[in-house]
Structure 1
Amino acid sequence: MTSLPVIDIDPFGTEVLTDPYPLEHALLDAGPLAYLSAHDIYAVARYDAVYAALRNWQGFQSGAGVGLSNFRTEKPWRQLSIVVEADPPHHDAPRRVLANLLGPRAQRRLRAEWMAKAHKMVGQVLDGTPGGTIEFDAVTAIAEKFPPRAVGDALGLPEEGRENLLPFSDFLLNAFGPRNELVAAGAPHAKFLTTWVMEHCQRDALTEDGLGGQIWAAADRGEITHEQAPGVVRSLFAAGFNTTVHALAAVMHALVTHPEQWARLRAEPSLARIAFDEAVRWASPVQTFFRTAVGDVPVGDHVVPDGAKVLMFLGAANRDPRRWADPEKFDLSRDPSGHVGFGFGLHQCVGQNLARLEAECLITALAERVETLELAAPGERRLNNTLRAWHSIPVRARLAN
């Protein structure tokens, strides 16, 4: 048996968060399992190993925290997600309520509403002469604006205070990593943001007919407890905004930097969802997630010992050449289904189809109005311990006649 590869690069260092690809290539070359000495953790990066780990919820638990902290051995210092950081049977009822609320019926109901919102917002951004040129920021004007508007309305949130949603989830996702400077930068506002969110998880802060109100109605029917209801609402606040924002930013960046793919999309608008999933595969806005080994778990020729933290590199798996042909190419001819950008198995993102619907509405509205897209200036990254995110993507668009 060969010795377990040891890599001494900090996956949460500024250099890696800025450019994760050298570490990803090293992990893919190392084998199915590696040891990251900087944080005394194990890593899986190859597609098959990540896929297997995501499916194996019995061997790789979420209930000990999906961040670096190991809540089997230390007292939780933050509130755990009732959905993402729970295992069966505690996970089942909240997950079932969300799956029912966010299923095909809800998507059909929201489609026309969100399409109208997307056309209105895009029309406001592209307030220019047909055939003319206009510049805007794809992050601040598009990606950051649409989810709070679309999902915020669907949840039944008041408009006032929605600006707190993104910094709250940004801090939460930073907190999945070590307590580094990114966590420290968000700490002064964390108490205020958490208090605001928890207040708006309560029944009296939500409209009765919104998704939040329907979660409370599920508690009235006994599908979940009333004690669980705020946590289920909070799970939508935490996961339904920041990850979707940066997934939308990822597809915008992909299309802006690949003009031939934008031209193809305009010719075939039905490719909007393919474009979104290919961008999630290609850019992987959610880069990593932790699990904790339950018992000694074999991975390849090696074993993850009981209680060890395992970091799954979703971004690396989505660019593994063993799974994907030309993985570093953004290509609308590809079938991107099977990517792990939304996780997989029991804990896969319950709201992923709502994110796809948001993207479809936005991309369709843009494609109808914009003939060509290009970068107006280099984009600027926003560093996060979990996300591969954008702070700014300046875009120059030539409007269709």
Structure 2
Amino acid sequence: MSTVQIASSDLDPFSDEFLAEPYEPHRHLRDAGPVVWLEKYGLWAMARYAEVRAALSDAETYCSSAGVGISDFRREKPWRVPSLLLEADPPEHTRARAVISKALSPATVRGLRDNFRATADKLVDEVVAAGELDAIADFATRFALTAFADAVGLPAAERENLHSYGNMVFNTFGPRNHLFEEAVAGAGPVREWIDAHCQPDLLAPDGLGMRIHRIAAEHGLSTSDSALLLRSFLSAGVDTTVHSLGNAIFCFAENPAEWDALRAEPALARTALDEVIRYESPVQTFFRTTTREVDAGGVRVPAGAKVLLFLGSANRDPRHWDAPDRFSVRRRVAGHVGFGFGIHACVGAVMARLEGEIVLASMAERIGRIEPAGKPRRLLNNTLRGRTHLPVRVVV
């Protein structure tokens, strides 16, 4: 029996209104209790930092193999073959993660620095020359589709499919609302392109894609399984970077004193990126499924229950963070859950941090001020938080 009163809410976390402005609903959910019953979907939710981090840290109790979206793979057929990383539990997940971790070894990621820096410097020089730009289309998306795709070893043509696929995958973690349906409508060609470009014959021999295939073979994985590992990497590697960078530019345009602080101390670039990911978490939610009855903050959650974890809310929980709604590049931000936590923490976080650090450092060296130049247009996605249009003005 639960030792605290079970709270319930009629909020719809996948409505356009919630997705556009989530922070007040997040506060409502946090204040309601450690675990909240969401009436609309008949599932449990956690919005406080302590419970979210505890669930992410306990993969035996809160499993991923039943799907990290609202769909329960034990009862429903997945819309695609499940990810060997994101939607798997040990021991299968352990073997798959070992492959990706070796492919993205610290030495390998460090070897990407010069190319990432050259791409960032070129794009920042173009931004400075233009003066005004859409920070999403003209900068963040271009950087991700160049730096990431070059690193993987993808051909130059039709890379925009990476962006479309990522948007689709993250939308399908939610219910079959209009965002889900719009994302998958006509998605056949995009999925075919992704599947084809996960195969060795379309990858550069010295890129990360072929490195994943080689290491997977060394670990005894089939070519089809190594292609699935690469598919997971491709689905997460572009949109999260686009929105991390876009959210960073938005934060600095809205907080010029913090931009001045970064310019005065460029070594803060990596910390600043982590603060962006805490403050405006690109990945807002993931689901888990309980494998047994569990006590969460005094609430007894039954076995086999879907649990919605609000990462973005946890990252602004005043029970854990001081002044969580203030953006500060000098914040001690270790422990945020923007990259997840535990064994399913984002395996590409080291690469994402390198990309963000390099971009922010390049911008800080060349740009004196970032100013809003129009009204941003909010991205509506069942999982991601970002913008589709972000007009800014840069001053040297």
TM over 0.5: yes
**Structure 2 residue aligned with 1:207:** 204
Q: Report the Cα offset of residue 261 of structure 1.
A: 0.5
Q: Is the 8 A contact 2:283 2:312 kept in 1?
A: yes
Query: Residue type matched to 1:244 in 2?
Result: T
Distance 2:262 2:219 in 1: 46
Matched, 1:393 2:395: no
Among candidates 338, 345, 348, match of residue 345 of structure 2: 348
Q: How many residues align?
A: 394
Q: Is the 8 A contact 1:93 1:223 kept in 2?
A: no
The normalised TM-score by structure 2 is: 0.97
**Structure 2 residue aligned with 1:257:** 254
Query: Residue type matched to 1:27 in 2?
Result: L
**Structure 1 residue aligned with 2:14:** 12
**Structure 2 residue aligned with 1:112:** 114
Q: Is the 8 A contact 2:99 2:219 kept in 1?
A: no
Q: Is the 8 A contact 1:373 1:398 kept in 2?
A: yes
Q: Report the Cα offset of residue 223 of structure 1.
A: 4.3
**Structure 2 residue aligned with 1:27:** 29
Distance 2:213 2:369 in 1: 45
Shift >4 Å, 4+ stretches: none
Among candidates 64, 70, 73, match of residue 71 of structure 1: 73
Matched, 1:83 2:85: yes
Q: Report the Cα offset of residue 190 of structure 1.
A: 1.5
Q: Give CA deviations for 1:51-72 in whole Å, capped at 9, x if unaligned.
A: 0000010000000000000111
Matched, 1:300 2:287: no
**Structure 2 residue aligned with 1:184:** 181
Pairwise CA RMSD: 1.1
**Secondary structure in structure 1 of the residue aligned to 2:393:** strand
Q: Is the 8 A contact 1:97 1:223 kept in 2?
A: no
**Structure 2 residue aligned with 1:226:** 223
Q: Is the 8 A contact 1:93 1:224 kept in 2?
A: no
**Secondary structure in structure 2 of the residue aligned to 1:383:** coil
Distance 2:383 2:24 in 1: 17
Among candidates 125, 133, 138, match of residue 141 of structure 1: 138
Query: Residue type matched to 1:224 in 2?
Result: L
**Structure 2 residue aligned with 1:280:** 277
**Structure 1 residue aligned with 2:105:** 103
**Structure 2 residue aligned with 1:131:** none
Q: Give CA deviations for 1:361-382 in whole Å, capped at 9, x if unaligned.
A: 1111111111111101121101
Q: Is the 8 A contact 1:374 1:396 kept in 2?
A: yes
Q: Give CA deviations for 1:252-289 in whole Å, capped at 9, x if unaligned.
A: 11111100000111110111111110010001111000
Query: Residue type matched to 2:98 in 1?
Result: R
Q: Is the 8 A contact 2:35 2:46 kept in 1?
A: yes
Q: Report the Cα offset of residue 221 of structure 1.
A: 2.1
Q: Report the Cα offset of residue 188 of structure 1.
A: 2.2
Matched, 1:159 2:159: no
Q: Report the Cα offset of residue 341 of structure 1.
A: 0.2
Q: Report the Cα offset of residue 189 of structure 1.
A: 2.5
Q: Is the 8 A contact 1:72 1:307 kept in 2?
A: no
Give the % identical residues. 44
Query: Residue type matched to 1:281 in 2?
Result: R
**Secondary structure in structure 1 of the residue aligned to 2:129:** coil
Query: Residue type matched to 1:247 in 2?
Result: S
Q: Report the Cα offset of residue 23 of structure 1.
A: 1.5
Q: Report the Cα offset of residue 102 of structure 1.
A: 1.2
**Secondary structure in structure 2 of the residue aligned to 1:91:** helix
Distance 1:220 1:77 in 2: 27
Larger mean Cα displacement after TM superposition, 1-10 or 173-182 = 1-10
**Secondary structure in structure 2 of the residue aligned to 1:310:** strand
Unaligned runs of 5+ in 2: none
Distance 1:77 1:277 in 2: 32
Distance 2:79 2:303 in 1: 22
**Structure 1 residue aligned with 2:55:** 53
Among candidates 297, 306, 310, match of residue 309 of structure 1: 306
Matches within 5 A, 1:325-336: 325-336=322-333
Distance 2:173 2:217 in 1: 33
Distance 1:300 1:322 in 2: 14
Among candidates 219, 239, 250, match of residue 236 of structure 2: 239
Distance 1:285 1:3 in 2: 32
Unaligned runs of 5+ in 1: 129-133
Query: Residue type matched to 1:264 in 2?
Result: A
